[in-house]
Every structure is written in C-alpha cells, then in structure tokens.
Amino acid sequence: MPAQPTFRVALYGDAILTNPKWNKGSAFTTAERKAFDLTGRLPYRVNTLDEQCDRAYDQLQSRESPLRKNSFLQSLKDQNYVLYYALISRHLEELIPIIYTPTEAEAISNYSHLFRRSEGLYLTFPHQDSMEEDFLEQIKGRDIDLVVCSDAEQILGIGDQGVGGIGIASAKAVIYALIAGVNPSRTLSITLDVGTDNEELLNDRLFVQLVRQYLPHSLLHFEDFGVNNAKRLLDLYQDKHAVFNDDVQGTGAVTLATLMSAVGVTKSKLSDQRIVVFGAGTAGLGITRQVRDAMVTLDGLSPSEANKRFYLLDRCGLVKASLGRDQIRAGLEDFVRPDAEWADAQANARGEVGLLEVVRRVRPTVLVGCSTVAGAFGEDVVREMARGTARPIILPLSNPSRLHECTPQDANDWTDGRALLATGSPFPPCKMPNGKDYIIAECNNALIYPGLGFGAIVSSSRALTDTMIIAGTQRLASLAPALKDPDDALLPDFGSAPAVNFEVAVAVAEQAIKEGTAGVDWKVEEVREKVRDRQWRPIYGEYVYDPQGER
C-alpha cells in the first residue's frame, strides 16, 4: 500500500469542491471538512475511495451506450481526478475502450455536440499573436513533465477533426497516467490549429520553440499529425529535445514487439519475413522503418538487404519505381520496388499492382494494415496469403474498430485457424476450428508509449533515442504470453498494461543511463525502485489548509 502523501492546499469552500485536482467529494475527512469550510457543503457521511468507486461504477453501468459512458467519465474527470483514475484503474480492460479507441473516436467526431467544459490548451491560428501569452498562462506556477500535442490532421483513422483534436491529446495523456503513472497534474494537453501550408510550418515551429524555451525538460509527444508534418517535426527536433511521435515511433515499437512475439511462435527470424504493409502513411512508414532497423541491429542484415524484405502499398498500389515522384512520398525511397521485378505483374483496373497481386507473387509471411480501408483484407487476399505460408501473421491495425482491414474471426476462418493475429482496437477472442478461443492481442501503441515516455521522463533524459525505444520494445516482447504458450495472445492484455509498462519504463531508463542521455546518475540496480517511487497513483492525499499552499 503506497504511503498517503500530504498536501498543503490554499483553496477552500466551493473553490476546492469545484477543482478536479483537489476535490475529494464525499471522501473529505471530518477534519478536512472543518479546515476547508466544507461541513455544510457535503452529506454527513464520509466515504472511502472504494465506496466512491463502487457508486460511480454503478452510475456508469446505468448508461447503456459506450458514448454515454464516455461522456459520464469525462464529467467525472471534470469533477474529481483521483476518483476518475481510481475507477478506471479498477476496470482497465473494460474501460480503456470507452475512454480510448474505439469510443473516443466517436466522442471526437461529436466534439461540438458533447462539449461541456474546456480542457488543456487550444492554440488557434486566429490567435497566433497571443500564442506565447496563452501558453505561459497555462503553465504558470506548474511543473510540467509531459506535453501531449495534436494538430488533429489525422485523428486515428477518422481524418481531420479540427478543435476536437484536444480529445485525442487528452485521451493519450490519460493513458500515460493510468498505465505508466505519469502525474496528470504535471501534464499539458494541447490542440494546435495553426492554419495551412506555410503558416502551419511557421506556427508549428513557434510552438515547439515555446516548449523548448519554457519547458526544456519536458517530453513532447506528437499525436495524429498528418504524415508530412509528423516526419518533418521529428526529423527537425529529434536531436534537440525529448520528442516522440506516437504514430511513427509508438506504432513502430508495438508492432515490432508483436512481430518478435509472432516469429517466436513460428520459430523463424525477423529477417526471414516478407512483409507487406498496406497503407504507407504515418503508421505504415513508422512500422516499416522500425522493423527494418531491428532486422539490421538485432539480426545483422545490411540496411539494403533489410529494405528488400518490405513491399509497401498505398493509394497508387504497390510503391514501385515507375510511379510519379508525387506518388512516392518522402521517407518511402528506401522501400521502392524495382520495376523489373513487376514487369509481368497483372495490373488491376486502375493500372496499378494491387494487394492481391502483390500477395500472390510475394507470398508474404506478414501482412500489416494501416490504411483506414475497412475490409481491404478480403477473403481472396487472406486465402491467397494462407496458401503461401504455414502461419500467416496478419495485423489489421486501423482504428477505430469499424475501419479494420479484416475482422480477426474472418482471418481465422479463412486460414483454418492458422493465422497469428493482432488488431489496432480491441476485439473479442476468435473461435478456433477446434472450438478453443484464440485471444486477439491489441497491437496499439498505447500498450507501449506510456512506458517509453515515462522512462524518458523519470530518467530526465534529454532525448528519447531509437536505442531507448528498442530497449523498451524488447522488454515488452519478452513479456508476450505467446512466448510461453504459442496458442496464447501475441501481446499482454491491457489489464496487465501497468505492470508491463513499468518494465518498459525501467528498460528505457536503464538504457538512457547506459548511453549517457539521462540527467540522473542512478546506478542500474537502483532504477526499478526510482521508477516505482516516481509513479503517480490515484489515491487521496491528506490535506492541510495553508493560505500559501498549492492551488
């Protein structure tokens, strides 16, 4: 049982009851009620946090649709942080799909209808002159460890959602607190709506300068930026600040861990795989590069040999040399297939080499979907793949659930139960031909980014390097249930995400210390305890009234 912290708090009366960071509702103790002018403002009986969680859970269950549950939880967050996080922590597997994918996508698309109360920081183009002032106002008097920022250009698979982008920044921040123990009051969520083209470039840079100047030790997490901005910002700042692009690096890491687990089951090597990636955008490129780099660093392939293991498809079909320059976006160059290889390929009606033809000729062992094209892995594609390999590894990763390239049950049926599967959003287990259940791993970056980020934060690392990410990824892969039982899931479930991400954070911090990016001088054997000590937990502290205290 972690010790109860003591806080000196300057707010009292309605001001403390309406402040979600400090409010305890009916759990204020009798002594606190006297000290904070609350005796007449609350029902007499003092509740424990457990009692409050039980009551809130009952109230939640009376909301039938996932979206209504999402709204209820959002209101709870607006009222009482500790209760909100404590409740979700007690029902992680059930409630993560409510506050994150798939339900959060629906909440974001309905942002203006559901809007009740603002949260985080809105940096908007019409107010670009006051950007610095608005930023400083939000961080005044606060220690910030983590900035989660979205420009909302490509939210999950649902496209540009404008101001609703605050929803994904906040949801990602919540997951950091729930799964890794990042203190939510030391986190800032931002939505950037900064105009178009050149203005966008200029304002993005201005924004990053503000973070670097005023929060030099924070981790800056980019979420759901469009493909060009995602890469540009990462390339620009990777050596200058601890920046992290979740869709590129987080997705790359969790997919690499999934593949490490899957090749453990098939008793092959990563570098033996032929990998088809359908949807060569932010996530597709992030995955491809991460897995390619692992083939080089872990399996000893040369980079050019490793590049040849990949076949990328986008809107224009297979990415091959004869496509126009405008169709081969920056970053794909390493993976362009030579035309000669496809000279006698069957083009589809649009004159492109399509997925079925690629699968027929390449006989891939791995098929990854990050295209947002629901149903793109049809029966013909999956059966064709299953003809060419004994254990097809199929990862339909597009979110939310309705955009998946195929359902796990279909993939399972069409491969007679031979497929190794993981999906981007949660899915129920498949029924195998032998009647047993096959648990579908959720290959979502939320299974790893909290630990990666927290590892960088606790070690005060000035960067989140590729080697730190690899260390975290290997730790996650080592915890895969399929390593013990090949019929089990390829990744741990979200119920064990906090324990898993603790391990990831430890691995990342250890690596930061080893490679000299850390700002702490801990011995390696101290890291676990230090990480544990820094974890925030949703428990009530004891409050002492102090007019000079915190607000």
Ligand X SMILES: NC(=O)C1=CN([C@@H]2O[C@H](COP(=O)(O)OP(=O)(O)OC[C@H]3O[C@@H](n4cnc5c(N)ncnc54)[C@H](O)[C@@H]3O)[C@@H](O)[C@H]2O)C=CC1
Rounded to whole angstroms, what are the CA distances from 453 to 175, 312, 505, 531? Answer: 11, 29, 7, 12
Would the CA dihedral through 241, 514, 178, 426 be positive or negative?
positive
Q: Tell me if 104 is assigned to a ligand binding site.
A: no
Contact 534/23 with Cβ under 8 angstroms?
no
Question: Does 399 help bind ligand CC(=O)C(=O)O (rule: CB under 6 A)?
Answer: yes
Helix and strand numbers, DSSP H then E, in the chain: 23, 16
Q: Is 401 in the site for ligand X (CB under 6 A)?
A: no
**Site membership for ligand X, residue 313 (CB under 6 A):** yes
Ligand-binding site membership of 223 (annotated): yes
Least separation in angstroms between residue 302's CB and ligand X is 27
CA 204, CA 225: separation in Å to the nearest integer?
11
Where are the strands (E) in 208-289, listed by range? Answer: 219-223, 243-245, 275-278
- Please tell me whether residue 152 binds ligand X under the rule CB under 6 A: no
225 to 151, 232, 447: CA distances (angstroms): 6, 10, 20
372 binds, among ligand CC(=O)C(=O)O, Mg ion, ligand X, none (CB under 5 to 8 A by kind): ligand X
**Site for ligand X (CB under 6 A): which residue of 17, 168, 295, 373?**
373
Nearer to ligand CC(=O)C(=O)O, 86 or 168 (CB): 168
- Choosing from 120, 181, 281, 538, the residue that interacts with ligand X (CB under 6 A) is 281
Binding flags for ligand CC(=O)C(=O)O, 64-103, as an x/- string (CB under 6 A): -------------------------------------x--
Distance CA 15, CA 225 (A): 37
Q: Among 280, 285, 197, 304, which Cα is nearest to 235's?
A: 285
Interface positions, 236-255, toward ligand X (CB under 6 A): 247, 251, 254
DSSP assignments along 433-475, one per residue: TTS-EE--EE--GGGTHHHHHHHHHHTT-S---HHHHHHHHHH
**What letter represents residue 238's amino acid?**
Q
The residue sitting closest to ligand CC(=O)C(=O)O, measured at its beta carbon, is 399
Cβ proximity to Mg ion, 247 vs 503, nearer residue: 247
Q: How far is the CB of 194 from ligand CC(=O)C(=O)O (least distance, A)?
A: 20
Contacting residue, 32, 104, 247, 510, with Mg ion by CB under 5 A = 247
Distance of CA 335 to the CA centre of its chain: 25
Q: Report the nearest approach of ligand X to the CB of residue 161 (Å).
A: 12
Other C-beta atoms within 10 Å of 199: how many? Answer: 12
Closest residue (Cβ) to ligand X?
281
314 in a labelled binding site: no
Angle between helix 227-237 and helix 282-297 axes, rounded to 10 deg: 50
Q: Which CB sits closer to ligand CC(=O)C(=O)O, 153 or 247?
A: 247
Is 81 marked active-site? no
Strand runs labelled E in 121-225: 121-124, 146-150, 187-193, 219-223
Nearer to ligand CC(=O)C(=O)O, 32 or 224 (CB): 224
Indicate which single residue of 246, 314, 442, 503 sits in contact with ligand CC(=O)C(=O)O (rule: CB under 6 A).
246
Measured between alpha carbons, how far is 501 from 531 in angstroms, rounded to an integer?
A: 11
Q: How many CA atoms lie within 13 A of 437 on its CB side?
A: 7
Instruction: Given the residues 172, 231, 320, 449, select the one marked as catalytic.
Output: 172
Check if 84 is active-site.
no
- Please report, as residue ranges, which positions from 438 to 467 form the binding site for ligand CC(=O)C(=O)O (by CB under 6 A): 444-445
Binding site for ligand X (CB under 6 A): 154, 156-157, 227, 247, 251, 254, 278-284, 313-315, 370-373, 397-399, 403, 424, 443-445
Q: Which residues are catalytic?
A: 100, 172
List contacts with ligand CC(=O)C(=O)O (CB under 6 A). 101, 156, 224, 246-247, 399, 444-445
Binding-site annotation: residue ranges: 223-224, 247, 399, 444
